[in-house]
Amino acid sequence: MLAKTDVFESDLQELADLSKALAHPARLAIIQHLAQHESCICGEIVDAMPLAQATVSRHLKTLKEAGLIKGEIDGPRSCYCLDTDALARAASAMSGYLDEIASSAPRENCC
Amino acid sequence: MLAKTDVFESDLQELADLSKALAHPARLAIIQHLAQHESCICGEIVDAMPLAQATVSRHLKTLKEAGLIKGEIDGPRSCYCLDTDALARAASAMSGYLDEIASSAPRENCC
DNA sequence: ATCCTTTATCGCGGATATAGGATAAATATA
DNA sequence: TATATTTATCCTATATCCGCGATAAAGGAT
């Protein structure tokens, strides 16, 4: 893209990036899985998803690039887990935006 | 897509769709603009965005298809405004998901 | 050293997303 | 009726996303 997005405020850009990371059910399911299970071995995530290993690995990379999860490549095993601080910041940013919208006065005079 | 996404739970699919609608700074800016201004004439939204009219119109369509905004085509003018009920539901769904994640026990034993 | 297991990456094909010029449609106005 | 205004849509180009088979990389096991 021709960098036309640079003209938007950085907080909106960050929130858009976060939304993009959340914009796939597989990634939402991976986050949920990591939250609900002790283990975070990659193979178990793959088994829990109805997708090929390569596809899951790609989603994990996307989540890692977004900073929502952490991963340690440990030889033939990889350990993934949530970045709880980052997720808390993400939740805060998202609810901050949506609450600000929700608290705006309704427009009865149109639509 | 080969309908592979159908295998995910519908609530995750809906949340992913919502996230996708929010996954562009222009759309976030449009929502913010509609929340902050009385008027919701399309032309004013176009003027407020650093994008071409055709591009803004497409983003508006995306938001409308996601159910986040309402629009009335009224001759040569169009009136757009927030669907506050839908946005409230969206905020609830998003925070419900993220809070559930955040409330999961942290995993000190890995990563 | 040779397999075996696990995971990341590459490469391809197909589907979407994004941007915007050009144009059409709808209506108000002169 | 002719014109101007406003907005949606069409079209094209480009970029990104998605899924997955194939392969590479990195250890562990025998």
Q: Is B20–A19 a contact, with Cβ atoms under 8 angstroms apart?
A: yes
CA–C1' span, A54 to C10, in Å?
A: 11
CB atoms within 10 A of CB B20: 17
Fold of A31-98: Arc Repressor Mutant, subunit A (1.10.10)
B94 vs A25, A81, A94: nearest CB: A94
Q: Domain extents for chain A?
A: 31-98
| Amino acid making up residue A60 | L
Contacts of A71 in chain B (CB under 8 A): 111
Q: What is the pLDDT of residue B6?
A: 62
Residue that has been written with the tokens 């095993």 in this structure? A77
Q: What is the pLDDT of residue B105?
A: 67
Which residues fall within 8 angstroms of residue B37, CB to CB, at 6 or more apart?
A: B44
Ranges in chain B, pLDDT < 70 = 1-6, 75, 105-111
pLDDT tens sequence for chain A (111 residues): 434 446 789 999 999 999 999 999 999 999 999 999 877 888 999 999 999 999 999 999 999 999 999 998 776 788 999 999 999 999 999 999 999 998 886 665 566
pLDDT tens for each residue of B20-44:
999 999 999 999 999 998 778 889 9
Fold of B21-94: Arc Repressor Mutant, subunit A (1.10.10)
Nearest Cα to Cα of residue B87 among A9, A95, A17, A10: A95
CA–C1' span, B82 to D6, in Å?
A: 21
Cβ(B16)–Cβ(A24) below 8 Å? yes
Cα–Cα distance, B55 to A4 (Å, whole number):
11
Nearest Cα to Cα of residue A16 among A26, A28, A27, A8: A8
- Quick check: B3 CB within 7 A of strand D? no
Tell me the two tokens of residue B104. 């999961």
Q: What is the pLDDT of residue B21?
A: 98
Q: What is the pLDDT of residue A3?
A: 45
Q: Which helix (H) or strand (E) holds A70?
A: strand A69-74
